[in-house]
Amino acid sequence: MENIAIVIPSLDPDEKLNSTVDGMVDAGFKHIILVDDGSSEEHKEPFRAALAEHPECRLVVHEVNKGKGRALRDAFAYIAENLPDVRGVITVDGDGQHTPEDTVRLAKEMEIRPGHVILGCRDFSRSHVPMHNKLGNRISAFIYRAVYGIKLTDTQTGLRAIPAEYIKAFAEEVQGDRYEYETNMLIYIKDHGIPYGEIPIRTVYIDDNSSSHFNVFKDSYRIYKPIILFVLGSCIATVVDLVLFTVLDLLTLRQVQHGSLPGVLYWFYGLLTKNAGMSDATARLFLPTVIARIVSSLVDYNFSRTKVFGSKDPARKTIWKYYVICVVRMLLSWLILSFFANVLGTEGILDTVLKVLVDLILFFVSYNWQRKWVFRK
């Protein structure tokens, strides 16, 4: 344990911080970095007591509260500069949720699996776990897996063992000052191919986790802001797409049935069915799908570029990538709908219902493509 650094960020701590520090020292850890994240004067005593009683402790101070993410980043930067020989760092919450025994187990697991980030995962099925924590973790686990491809049983754990080779990158390259930093850390791990794993730990909640500074609404928004905005932009574009698709599909269906397609459309419809060998249903769905997607995609592109990803690149550098994805999504949507139309004979409003389901699946794929390729920072 001598070459492992422990990082404990804390805001307005009580006696549980000193119990946590005592446990880490007794477990054999020699480098304990405390971060006072802007605590008020009446809550400074636990930091003073830790420094006075344990020479293993060092203190990083924020004069004002900057958030847990900034506290972790500054601690990592401190370790990278002042403790270059450590083999890794373990982040520990100072409210008593993480036991010394579990922290030691993470340290040993990091030795067994070199180069792996190890996460301590809690068992949320236990009866004493607060309901909002159970629900929050289940939602998070689904989003992480569906959107980012991250498979974790505990996405909110603060007990994380990080090998030394990643400390500087986590300090400088992973963004976020508050709780969203821990989410961004997991995304960074996934995007950069850093191996990771989980081990089970005790599930400890003291006084229904009342000492936590996590604000359910404000901090959840920070964590999921890109996804929330992406959903909003997609919803706006989807409404435009569905309205146009439905109107055009119904008009086209009626005109095909009555043989009253306008000249140019009649020629194009005949080109698809006779020369391209498409079925009547496939040809009928083509134009409504294309026209609706062109209009809605312009709405979606501008919203994603400015609001979701905040891209600083000029449009000419990103719009062609966006439309590569857009065309692929459009073709997949069209082909899948055509399959159902040909096999099941769907038409009219049922086409719209199926389109909603198909585009929902393609939504998750599109978000990752845009984040990792189109608007990549």
User: What is the mean pLDDT for each group of 10 consecutive residues in the chain (377 residues)?
Assistant: 91 91 94 94 92 95 93 96 94 89 94 94 69 72 81 88 96 89 90 92 63 62 77 87 84 59 54 62 76 86 86 87 88 88 82 84 84 83
Residue boundaries of the structural domains of the chain: 4-214, 224-374
Cβ contacts of 183 within 8 Å, gap of 6 or more: 155, 176, 223, 224
In this prediction, residue 168 carries a pLDDT of 95
The kind and range of the H/E element at 117 are strand 117-121
**C-alpha–C-alpha distance, residues 128 and 130, integer Å:** 6
| Cβ atoms of 319 and 301 closer than 8 Å | yes
221-268, pLDDT tens digit by residue?
676 777 788 888 888 988 998 898 888 777 766 655 555 555 545 556
* Residue 14 DSSP SS3: coil
In this prediction, residue 148 carries a pLDDT of 81
Cβ contacts of 174 within 8 Å, gap of 6 or more: 73, 181, 184, 185, 188
In this prediction, residue 270 carries a pLDDT of 60
In this prediction, residue 95 carries a pLDDT of 83
117-160, pLDDT tens digit by residue?
999 988 766 665 666 667 777 877 887 887 788 888 888 888 99
Other Cβ atoms within 10 Å of 59 Cβ, number: 14
Give residue for tokens 């400890």: 204
In this prediction, residue 215 carries a pLDDT of 62
The DSSP call for residue 317 is: H
In which region does residue 344 sit, left (phi positive, over 0), alpha (psi from -120 to 50) or beta (all else)?
Answer: alpha
> What's the gap between Cα 124 and its chain centre?
20
CATH number for the region 4-214 comes to 3.90.550.10
Give residue for tokens 């236990």: 126
In this prediction, residue 110 carries a pLDDT of 93
**C-alpha–C-alpha distance, residues 126 and 133, integer Å:** 11
